[in-house]
Amino acid sequence: MVTKEFESGGQTYRGKKGSKTGSAVDLGKSDDLLCVMDFDIKEDLTDEKITEIRNQIIENLPSNVGLVKTAHRGLHVYLDRDGYPLKNNSQIKIIKTENFDIDIFAHIDENQRLVILPKSTCGPQENNQRKTLKYEDLNNMLGKKNLATLNDVLDIYGIDLRAQFEEEKPIINNDGKLRKMRKEFADLFVDGICHLQIHNDAQKVEREIMLLCLFRGLNGLAYVEGLQDEEIKQYVDDAYNK
């Protein structure tokens, strides 16, 4: 239930004259099950286009999520993190599209991570006039139970953040032999180094490559999965002479 998550992490904000302007939850102090996906829609679009994009985002989401329209016409989506690994409280722009970017807010470390709650307002200046912008609850989000998981929504966008925690596999196995290279990678490697020129230049250049990486790839051609000795010899010859 979303309401329970806010009990230990709520904060109240007041304007210059002391009046209450809104409240926020500090995810760093709330239950670590809760997380928020922030859909930041490009502000230079027309009101009609922003509404269309926001409605399309909502249509693609599971029904059991908490939804808040942000003051800048984006969308906060409240989810169950369900143990999904994240590096910190704020993962910024994990998805970037033509019309919107996505951030993820969660309780990973003890740093403060505030998320503004519904019925809060802010008043930016625009053309010497103060506008009142509101955070709006779109689906009774405070009473939502059994929230969809973060993984459910990331799957919709084809994103797997768990890859950032995977350890790089060693090039050399424990027995001292080079780990075998996949044939698909060997094909790409041989094609990629055709017409490669190496210059002894101390100046930094774009798309530079360390020779250690190059030599490691060349040595790896001696161990390509699924190839016979003659086929491997041909790969090596192509790499050096093609």
pLDDT one-digit tens code per residue, 46-96: 999 999 999 999 999 999 999 999 988 999 999 999 989 888 888 889 888
Q: Is residue 178 part of a domain?
A: no
User: Which pLDDT score is estimated for 199?
Assistant: 61
Which residues make Cβ contacts (< 8 Å) with residue 4, sequence separation at least 6?
A: 31
- Mean pLDDT across the stretch 31-60? 91
Q: Is residue 177 part of a domain?
A: no
Residue 15: band (very low, low, confident or very high) from pLDDT cuts 50, 70, 90 = very low
Sequential DSSP letters for 8-75 = TTEEEEE-TTS-EEEEEEETTTS-TTEEEEEEEE-TTS-HHHHHHHHHHHHHHS-SSSEEEE-TTS-E
Note whether 64 and 147 are within 8 A (CB).
yes
Give the pTM: 0.63
User: Which pLDDT score is estimated for 48?
Assistant: 94
User: Which pLDDT score is estimated for 57?
Assistant: 95
User: Which pLDDT score is estimated for 9?
Assistant: 47
Looking at the structure of the chain, the number of domains it has is 2
In one-letter notation, the amino acid at residue 69 is: K
Mark whether 6 and 36 lie in a shared domain.
Answer: yes
Percent of the chain with pLDDT over 90: 26
Residue 154: band (very low, low, confident or very high) from pLDDT cuts 50, 70, 90 = very high
User: Which pLDDT score is estimated for 168?
Assistant: 47
User: Which pLDDT score is estimated for 216?
Assistant: 63
Mark whether 121 and 160 lie in a shared domain.
Answer: yes
Render pLDDT for 80-89 as a digit per residue (tens, 0 to 9). Answer: 999 898 888 8
Q: Averaging pLDDT over each range in 5-9, 192-196, 233-237, which range is the top one?
A: 233-237
User: Which pLDDT score is estimated for 203?
Assistant: 54
Q: Is residue 172 part of a domain?
A: no
Render pLDDT for 165-186 as a digit per residue (tens, 0 to 9). Answer: 655 454 555 555 556 666 666 6
User: Which pLDDT score is estimated for 113?
Assistant: 82
Mark whether 122 and 95 lie in a shared domain.
Answer: yes
User: Which pLDDT score is estimated for 185?
Assistant: 66
Sequential DSSP letters for the chain = -HHHHHTTTEEEEE-TTS-EEEEEEETTTS-TTEEEEEEEE-TTS-HHHHHHHHHHHHHHS-SSSEEEE-TTS-EEEEEE-TT---SSSEEEEEEE-SSEEEEEEE-SSSS--EEEPTT-EE--EETTEE--EE-EESS-GGG--SPPBHHHHHHHTT--GGGGGPPPPPSB-TTSPBPPBPHHHHHHHHHHHTT-------S--TT---HHHHHHHHHHTTSBTT--HHHHHHHHHHHHH-
Note whether 92 and 107 are within 8 A (CB).
no
pLDDT over threshold 70, residue 120: yes
Residue 160: band (very low, low, confident or very high) from pLDDT cuts 50, 70, 90 = confident
Selection from 188, 163, 8 nearest residue 87 by Cα? 163
- Out of 164, 199, 216, a domain closes at 164
- Structural domain harbouring 226: 183-241
Mark whether 55 and 117 lie in a shared domain.
Answer: yes
Mark whether 75 and 24 lie in a shared domain.
Answer: yes
Selection from 58, 65, 80 nearest residue 142 by Cα? 65
Residue 105: band (very low, low, confident or very high) from pLDDT cuts 50, 70, 90 = very high
Mark whether 72 and 144 lie in a shared domain.
Answer: yes
Mark whether 205 and 130 lie in a shared domain.
Answer: no
Selection from 91, 74, 66 nearest residue 159 by Cα? 91
Query: 137 or 124: which carries more pLDDT confidence?
Result: 137
CATH number at residue 114: 3.30.2250
Mark whether 80 and 116 lie in a shared domain.
Answer: yes
- Mean pLDDT across the stretch 208-213? 58
